Amino acid sequence: MTFASQLDQLQVALRHTHSRILAPLDHRQHLLPSDPEIFVEDVLHFVMDQCAEELRDQGHVLEQDTSWKDPINHYPLYLLRLAGGEVLNLHFTGEYPDSLYLTISKGLRRPEQFSDARMVHVTLGVSMDPNRLVLGILDGMNRFGH
C-alpha cells in the first residue's frame, strides 16, 4: 500500500469523525487552559478517540503510544496500524499554547525512529474546539494533495 493511499484512508476517517462530532461548542471553554494536559485530554485525545472509532470500522487500529512522553511539549504520539499491516506515526508536537503540529510518517521498526522519507507535516491551531482541530488536519492534508 502506498503512503498516499494510507493517508487517503486516514482522511476518510477524519471526514466521518468531523461529521459525528459537530456538537455545539461550550462557550465557557473558549479560553485555553493554563495546564497543557487539560488541552491534550479534552481536545486531542477526544478527537483521536473519535477517529479511532471510525478507523476501527474500516479494519484499522489507532492507539496512543503511551511509552512516548515528552514532558516539555506534552503532545502525544499515536500509531495507526492499517489493516494491511503497515504502521503510520501520528506525532503531535509544538509548544503549548503557542503552536501545534502534526507529522504523519511511515512507522519504522524502532518506535523512537521516525521516517522523513515519507511524511506530511501539518500546522494546526490550538483551540478548545475539536471540530477546528479535525478541519485543520483535513485542510493540512489536502494541501499536500492527499
pLDDT band at 122 (very low <50, low <70, confident <90, very high): very high
Q: What is d(CA 34, CA 98) in angstroms, rounded to the nearest whole number?
A: 12
CB-based burial label for 135 (10 Å; 0-12, 13-18, 19+)? middle
Instruction: Check: pTM over 0.85? Answer yes or no.
Output: no
Q: How far is CA 92 from CA 26, 59, 105, in A?
A: 24, 23, 11
Q: Which of 44, 63, 59, 79 is nearest to 12 (CA)?
A: 59
Residue pair 58/81 in contact (Cβ under 8 Å)? The answer is: no
CB-based burial label for 64 (10 Å; 0-12, 13-18, 19+)? middle
**Span 89-116, pLDDT tens digits:** 999 999 999 999 999 988 766 655 655 5
Query: Residue 63 above 80 pLDDT?
Result: yes
Query: Residue 25 above 60 pLDDT?
Result: no
**Span 42-62, pLDDT tens digits:** 899 999 998 898 899 889 999
Share of the chain above pLDDT 90, in %: 39
Q: What is the pLDDT of residue 143?
A: 80
